Amino acid sequence: GTANRYVASCGGYCGYTASFIGYAPADNPQLVIGVFVEGPQGGNYYGGTVAAPVFKKVMTFALQEQRIPPTGTASPNLPITW
């Protein structure tokens, strides 16, 4: 997610907070991780761009550290129709 951040010293919304929350394994959740980046730098401020890569690294480490195996279940192919 992406949110404008209210800062009293500037009298309004100044800057952003980028966020990403996820869980794993998908079909038997055992871990939940939330990543929040206040005031991301470098021109990118979207959660999927800034916070999701951090989530991936932390979740990968946590799953390995906790010895939680992959589910082995492939994601379903869902038809995309309108």
Mean pLDDT, 10 residues at a time, the chain of 82 residues: 90 93 92 96 92 97 94 74 75
Place of tokens 């991301």: 40
The pLDDT assigned to 81 comes to 80
Within 8 A by CB and 6+ apart from 37, the residues are: 17, 18, 19, 50, 51, 54
The structure tokens listed for 45 are 């401020």
pLDDT at 28: 87
Q: Whole-angstrom Cα distance, residue 61 to residue 66?
A: 9
Residue 70's pLDDT is 82
pTM: 0.79
Residue 43's pLDDT is what? 86
Contacts of 29 (CB under 8 A, 6+ apart): 23
